[in-house]
Amino acid sequence: MSTLILLAIFFGLMGIVVMIIYLIDRVNSIDKRTAKTSNQEPEDRHSLPTDRRFSGLEGEKLWNQLASQSAATGENDELTKQRQLYCPVLIRHIQEVFEEGTLDARQGLKIQPASDRSIKTTNGQIVSWIPSGESRSIYELGQDRGGADKARLIEISESIDRICTGIFTTLGISPNQMISNLILPGIHSERGSETNVNTSASPPARVPGDAESNSTT
């Protein structure tokens, strides 16, 4: 009888040890993920030069420049060029936030993504900026992706396009395809007649003055 009691105590202690190890591993995983989100720059991007094709602007200042000028009368070649150059940067930013949400969901994590993100370009790197509300919404849609059935994936793709339409409209940028085509390939064909990123009605993204406070790199 005493042997059974000792065995029960032994296995109970082993179970506690395993649980402690598991909890420590989870805490370490969260700490690493939080540090990555705060730092926001992968190691291979630290050594890249800043892309100088945006008049020395980046991050929120570049967003302000494009957003304020998008409603202005007239256009200039330099601004048009900056919009063309910034379009793939912004698309990449959106893709990374969405994928980050998907990967975090698989690990049981949910973290507020930073508004700022360093994006690699052909000329180095540039800090891209998205209002915190839109960034969080994109991240949360990425979290919903895992295990979603076709109907839910269609809803996610529609929501992504709606959010991105607001972002691009605010900056006066016109992508040549639906963002959902890049993030969720094949889902767009299930959605019917939508063919252009500007066709769905959506309010513009908030300008920085109205946006929630955001973190910086």
What's the pLDDT at 215? 40
Sign of CA dihedral 145, 149, 153, 159: negative
Domain that holds residue 81: 49-217
Nearest to 117 by CA among 189, 212, 185, 40: 40
Is residue 33 predicted with pLDDT exceeding 60? no
Evaluate if residue 93 carries a pLDDT over 60: yes
Quote the pTM value.
0.68
Q: For residue 116, give the DSSP letter.
A: E
pLDDT at 91 exceeding the cut of 90? yes
Beta strand residue intervals within 62-206, DSSP E: 116-121, 124-129
Is 44 a member of any domain? Answer: no
103 pLDDT more than 60: yes
The tokens 């109970």 sit on which residue? 12
Q: Are residues 84 and 158 in the same domain?
A: yes
Q: Is residue 68 part of a domain?
A: yes
- Could you tell me if 214 and 143 lie in one domain? yes
Compute the chain's Rg from CA coordinates.
22
Percentage of the chain exceeding pLDDT 90: 45
Structurally, the chain folds into a number of domains equal to 2
> What distance in Å separates the CA atoms of residue 26 and residue 77, rounded to the nearest whole number?
51
Q: What amino acid is encoded at 180 in this protein?
A: S
Indicate whether 207 and 131 sit together in one domain. yes
Nearest-CA neighbor of 174 among 94, 19, 70? 70
